[in-house]
A and B are shown apart, each in its own frame.
Chain A
């Protein structure tokens, strides 16, 4: 594949667009599919034929505002329709002839869209994820071609380092530094792994990226492999995401066919190929050493680090592991330069971050914002605030390893350091909003139950500690605990986080610690007055006031 050949593909797509300029895009990503967007697509095709409107109806990736799904966009007019039911297909078509269909039209100027900055999601909802030509027409695979033919691996790493990109899986390790370590490691065989085991409940960023724009992950991975000298790659995807797996398989086939994967990529001597490995529902496999064990076909049990996977990972070879979103950032950075990327964000956290905004908030869906935006802006401007006039109580980030932040922390800026200081973490990008009907002790109990059942059982602090903490929290929510239990809980938090082997155990107490820090009165209310202010916990008979 050469630059001329790429241009040729772009020309074909353009010519096709000129023939039939109007495009009707129906979102066929997870959220809208659950609301029957596939049937809607068929209905739209039929109504277009009946109404005699020349257009192409196609499936597109996630458009973000999932709470208003199924979403339909019309190009080149840039119209957006929300809550479109199959019966409304005719009305939508008529509106294209001039009759307005106000009731289903959705403004693109509303803060939900206007406040976002799309880098990772730039193609999401605009291209057909199952057609590689469309990705190429959106400047896809240019960065790979450029990197392979005009840059040395060291220059690629230099560019990524200068962009300030940090690992988007949650820990925020500088990506350029990680690549550099793997590149320096010796030996002829190295591996590149993409962590798409999005176990964090309440988060679906990686799923949407894989379903909406799989090629951008493949391109990022291939560039990374070139930079570090890897020849074989693995995509570790959750088995719970069958659609993402299907689209990835198709994308890999297309990329191989066009010579973006396999031997002699883009006519150079560099070769790299990819395989998909399915997860099987174990949260701990998001931890890199456990993930490696799982790819090797073993139980997903973490290993002590060091040695880090960068030195000795998969089959004891140097291994690069990055998250889906990290890889998805690579191609845009190489295309527009590290300086462009580092101009966004804060001093230490550069670029943008994708969040899955869910829970008790008006606009739920997938958002991408520059680092440094405050939680208040995300929840109230983009999210549209609380539905039904309810009162905001907390926002949870980072899943079971994160924490709940209350009203007074809403002006915290979203970056790795600030969130950590406030008692939560950036995490992979789940953001769940809660109102006054959620009991914070019960939320802590919920996460502890999760960590308890997901603990792999290798080290004792995590295996026994999470079970003890869950037991105490369970008794608190039932109104059967006393002050001594609370003291014991606080002691356990310290012990488990300090002595556990891997990230799961070390961060398991975070939801408890953050709720204790900001919502201690709720714990005390449960213990002393045997009362749950949110009305969520069922107090044992005879225990209540």
Chain B
């Protein structure tokens, strides 16, 4: 916040920093950010929920993010999501009960030339197929 001079318009930047540090935005940090920037809590909450990039739930230990951009979709990202949902036993946007892994979807990561794309714990893998995806996820679950 100091870096942005406590400016009110730096709300989104500040939330980015919080999410980067803690992995998600909890109620306490939202209250803190609102008070420090002198922005109303409703506006802070509104912004945090409006943008897809922010999450109010803690992520799992591992994250599997499937890109559902048009190019990935045409090249079979739907099958990847089905496979991941089956393997993890959760729906897109959810975390397994033990907090081991989260399944997320993205709207386009801009790596369309190597579609379909999956990001495992921040590492981007291109030309992905359901078999490899299952292996990768099973690797986490049995680690």
Contact = CB atoms under 8 A, between A and B. Distances in A.
A203 interface: yes
B9 A364 contact: no
Contact of A199 (B71, B108, B111): B108
Contacts of A366: 113
Interface in B86-143: 106-115, 117, 124-126
Given A201-B107, A240-B106, A297-B12, A34 B70 contact: no
A425 interface: no
Given A31-B114, A203-B112, A358-B71, A281 B9 contact: no
The interface centre, meaning the residue of A198, A200, A201, A366 with most chain B CB atoms within 10 A of its CB, is A201
A207 B69 CA distance: 15
- Residues of B in contact with A, size category: 35 or more
Contacts of B35: none
Interface string A298-317: 11100000000000000000
A202 B50 contact: no
A279 B8 CA distance: 16
Interface stretch (A223-231, A252-260, A319-327, A430-438): A430-438
B51 A280 contact: yes
Nearest to A240: B109
Contact of B16 (A203, A278, A450): A278
A446 B76 CA distance: 13
Contacts, number: 133
B108 A280 contact: no
B10 interface: yes
Residue from the set A203, A280, A396, A446 with the largest chain B CB neighbour count within 10 Å: A280
Interface in A96-152: none
Given A31-B113, A299-B46, A280 B10 contact: no
A69 B53 CA distance: 29
Contacts of B43: 298
A35 B7 CA distance: 40
B25 to A, nearest CB: 11
Contacts of B39: 297
Given A202-B70, A282-B52, A358-B71, 18 more contacts: A30-B111, A31-B111, A202-B108, A239-B16, A240-B108, A279-B53, A280-B12, A282-B50, A282-B51, A283-B107, A294-B12, A297-B7, A300-B50, A358-B70, A360-B74, A364-B113, A432-B74, A447-B70
A-B residue pairs, 6 tightest by C-beta: A66-B113, A280-B51, A202-B70, A201-B69, A201-B108, A281-B53
